[in-house]
Amino acid sequence: MDDEVFEDYDRELELALYKEYRDVVSQFQYVIETERRFYLANDVNVVRRDTEHDFYFELTMKDVWVWDIYRADRFVKSVRVLTFKDVNVEELQRRDFELPDELSLDS
C-alpha cells in the first residue's frame, strides 16, 4: 500500500469521528479538554492535588464519550485522568449544539 491509501483511510476515519461527535454532542452537558484527549461528559469533577513541590489535576468524569479515532468503543461509563497540564471544562447549552447550515455535512 502506498502513502495515499493510508492518508485516505485516515481522512475517512476522521470524518466518521466528526460525524459521530456531531450526532452525540446533544446528549452531553460538558466538553472537557486535556493535553491528550477531548471528552464529552454528563458529570465532571476537577480537583487540584498539591504535592511537596508541584500540583496536578485529578478529573473524574461519568457517562463519557471520548474523541479517539482508534477506540473501538468511545462510550465509557467513567474516566479518571491525572494531569500536570491545563484542563478546560465548558458547560454546553442547547444553543451550542446546532451547526450553521454552511457547516452541515448533510446535503
Structural domain contains residue 100: no
Question: How many domains does the chain fold into?
Answer: 1
Structural domain contains residue 103: no
Instruction: Determine the structural domain holding residue 26 and report its residue range.
Output: 1-92
Structural domain contains residue 104: no
Predicted TM-score (pTM) of the model is: 0.77
pLDDT at 72: 84
Distance separating alpha carbons of residues 35 and 12, to the nearest angstrom: 24
pLDDT digits 0-9 by tens, 46-61:
999 999 999 999 999 9
pLDDT digits 0-9 by tens, 5-53:
778 888 898 999 999 999 999 999 999 999 999 999 999 999 999 999 9
Structural domain contains residue 2: yes
pLDDT over 90 at 84, yes or no: yes
pLDDT at 96: 47
Instruction: Enumerate helices (H) and strands (E) in the chain, giving the number of each.
Output: 1, 5
